[in-house]
Amino acid sequence: MAKKDSLTYKQALAELEELVVRIENPDTDLENIADEVKKALNLVKFCRDQIKGFREETDKLLT
């Protein structure tokens, strides 16, 4: 995922939300849904890591 480097948390979250809505939509084509679910879960992980990074950084700054 080369795209991840330039992805911001905000963009990732927006993309994730879009994916969630698509996956939940019963009309969504199921052929590629596995990829989309994988992508969504990757975005969840990416965002969690981002938050973890922010927290470590700010904890260091605030102490």
Partner 1 sequence: MTKREEITLGELQERIKGVIESSFSGRYWVRAETGEVKIHSQGHCYIDLIEKSKGGGGVTAKVQAVIWASSFRMLKPYFETTTGRALERGLSILVNVQVTYSQVYGMSLVITDIDPAFTIGEQEIIRQKSIMRLSQEGMFEINSSLDIPLLPSRLAVISSEGAAGYRDFVKHLEDNDYGFSFSIKLFPAPLQGDSAPDGIIEQMEMVAREMDNFDILLIIRGGGAAQDLVCFDDYNLAINIAQFPLPVVVAVGHDHDYHIADMVAHTSLKTPTAAAAFIIDLFVAEEQQLIFLSRRVSLSLQSRLQSELTTLDRLNERMAAALRTHYREGEHLLDIFERRVMSASPLTILERGYSLALMGGKKIGSVNDAQAGDDFTLLLSDGSFNCTINSIRDGKKR
20 lines the binding site for partner 1 (CB under 8 A) = yes
Distance CA 56, CA 23 (A): 32
Shortest distance in whole angstroms from residue 7 CB to partner 1 = 15
The CA–CA distances, whole Å, from 11 to 5, 6, 37, 58 equal 12, 10, 17, 21
Task: Say how many C-beta atoms besides its own lie within 10 A of residue 32's C-beta.
Answer: 10
**For partner 1, which is the closer residue by CB, 3 or 60?**
60
5 vs 35 by CB, closer to partner 1: 35
Under the rule (CB under 8 A), what is the footprint of partner 1? 13, 16-17, 19-20, 23-24, 29-31, 33-34, 37, 40-41, 44, 47-48, 51, 54-55, 58, 62
